[in-house]
């Protein structure tokens, strides 16, 4: 696999170093040699090009025409969006991931087919999860989509009810039940009865 990482700040350099350590062929576009020297590991074995990330000559020199994946992870949303659009529409790269700091813009561009990762949104969700001690929450990303899994002790009023009796939030469903004997039952039968001692796992697309 050949991966082009556009941006060599804290995120781009960490990503490039990690991929390189895993044996993946990595090319990096950094704005300056000083930035690359500071951020990349001394034994970085990937390719490096310094210059303006949205310059098509630089993108070609960095190997965008033959790469499998482009990760646009500079600290500027506009640059990341432009690089992603060029990669997808001009060079036909199959897998393009763009870092977008503005959550609203991230949602808009994801709607138009750009695969985005929003650090702002992920940070807020992680902090919210950390300050909710009564609930155990996990977030799983599927492409540009995120699913939240919430585990909770069964409320007393739910005992004896079935999944169809519960009022759900929008885009939420009961995914599974962990029984008192620690067995897990995936909810594919909405006639299943919830019992005392159960833990409920809800999933919600966010």
Confidence of residue 119 (pLDDT cuts 50, 70, 90): confident
pLDDT computed for residue 80 by the predictor: 93
Rg of the chain's alpha carbons, rounded to an integer?
A: 22
pLDDT computed for residue 191 by the predictor: 84
Tell me the per-residue pLDDT of 23-51, one tens digit each, with 9 for 90 and over. 999 999 999 999 999 999 998 999 999 99
Percentage with pLDDT > 70 across the chain: 95
CA 174, CA 86: separation in Å to the nearest integer? Answer: 41
pLDDT at 61 over 70: yes
User: What is the rounded average pLDDT for all residues in the chain?
Assistant: 88
What is the mean pLDDT of the segment spanning 9-23? 93
What 3-state class would DSSP assign to 148?
strand
pLDDT computed for residue 145 by the predictor: 79
Give the rounded distance of the alpha carbon of 110 from its chain centre. 12
Tell me the per-residue pLDDT of 141-187, one tens digit each, with 9 for 90 and over. 776 778 888 898 898 899 999 988 888 888 889 999 999 998 998 98
Q: Which of the 8 DSSP states describes residue 194?
A: P
Query: And the tokens for 122?
Result: 């992920």
Architecture of domain 2-118: 3-Layer(aba) Sandwich (3.40)
Domains 2-118 and 132-205 share a fold: no
Tell me the per-residue pLDDT of 183-205, one tens digit each, with 9 for 90 and over. 998 988 778 999 999 999 999 98
Residue pair 102/77 in contact by the 8 Å Cβ criterion: yes
pLDDT computed for residue 108 by the predictor: 74
Pick the CATH number of 132-205 from 3.30.460.10, 3.30.70.1450, 3.40.50.300, 3.40.140.10: 3.30.70.1450
pLDDT computed for residue 200 by the predictor: 92
């Amino acid at each position: 696999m050949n991966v082009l990482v556009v941006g060599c700040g804290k995120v781009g350099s960490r990503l490039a170093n990690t991929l390189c350590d895993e044996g993946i062929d990595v090319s990096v576009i950094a704005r300056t040699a000083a930035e690359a020297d500071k951020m990349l590991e001394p034994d970085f074995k990937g390719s490096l090009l310094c210059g303006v990330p949205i310059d098509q000559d630089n993108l070609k020199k960095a190997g965008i025409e033959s790469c499998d994946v482009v990760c646009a992870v500079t600290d500027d949303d506009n640059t990341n969006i432009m690089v992603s659009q060029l990669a997808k529409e001009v060079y036909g790269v199959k897998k393009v991931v763009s870092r977008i700091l503005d959550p609203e813009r991230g949602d808009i561009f994801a709607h138009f087919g750009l695969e985005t990762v929003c650090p702002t949104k992920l940070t807020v969700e992680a902090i919210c999860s950390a300050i909710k001690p009564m609930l155990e929450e996990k977030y799983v990303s599927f492409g540009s989509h995120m699913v939240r899994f919430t585990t909770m002790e069964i409320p007393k009023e739910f005992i004896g009810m079935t999944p169809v009796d519960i009022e759900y939030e929008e885009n939420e469903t009961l995914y599974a039940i962990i029984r008192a004997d620690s067995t897990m039952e995936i909810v594919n039968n909405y006639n299943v009865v919830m019992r005392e001692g159960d833990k409920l796992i809800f999933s919600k697309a966010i």
